[in-house]
Structure 1
């Protein structure tokens, strides 16, 4: 039988042998986590009765001024609305499109590629991680070229609502997101299939569709509550 003292004596000898295995394992775990998260963005399905509508994209503060944001989203400055902490809502025309055989609601803009730009970095830093990947984007990121950017958006029948495309941030809860964007938790759940599996869990980087009430929520709707796990 190996005693605890013996294990302590063996550890300095065994640990160096384990280091190469750990070094090989950790990048794989990180890559797997990124790959899982990247699957949690999907287009909002088109309705036969609505082909185009106004939608909102939630732009997370990254140091850009409102005028710069308007330029990258190809909208007028008047379509940029302040939310909090220099985060903005960008109002865009959202339309039903088919991108590489995938149908859904999207907003199309273009981006002028600068030196060392990559699709992943531009999506994260300029478009809040909401740029839709349909394959082959990186090969098109050539300095001086303009590339197409497609951002998922949504349309609904109710005139009192506007769909907001929102990227989950650190420490967000579903309740916080609902309060921030004047939405019902039940409405958020119904618009996002990933929440049907486990409505008590959300993760950083998920792109959700939020049915925002244009005129705000009444007191009884604001009283909704749900036990939510914080993300970390």
Structure 2
């Protein structure tokens, strides 16, 4: 039985709560906020997706803020199980942001991390769930810089952080993401995970981290392929 099937068998209400939808080879994440100017992300891969919207993990305070002053009750725009054609299981988390704003991008990965913690808490009850065997993808999608001035100011912010020798989001994640589009990082490199005594299977887990930008500033959608 696939992990998505095990999950939805135990947590059968997740199907309606999270507006579950099956997709072949392409998962669509939508941002429904009325003021959002970045509204649509397509994630493509060879296989079957079972996608949920943010309602799946929204307001799940029992795992976070109700029981911990250190874990935030945050949610991301979409979560999907992917069972690829080689029968490899993936977990995909996505958050859309309307502008290229370093603080908002930092916040997006915080939302994703908290959503991952909620999902892991549920999945740890599922038969055959083994985090080390699953590929995990953290995707933030947003508009590209609106002009060269904004791009220069982002690069300046990164170089200033580098000169100060600071271990910040800009030096640790943003620069390699802008240079390479996606990077592999251990969860322990995220402050949210680093500061608490999480199980080794979480701290040591390597995830694929993506920053997907629109091609042009006016665009309201983008797409990326994962494998």
TM band (smaller chain): under 0.3
Higher strand share: 2
Bigger radius of gyration: 1
TM-score between the two structures when normalised by the length of structure 2: 0.26
TM-score between the two structures when normalised by the length of structure 1: 0.26
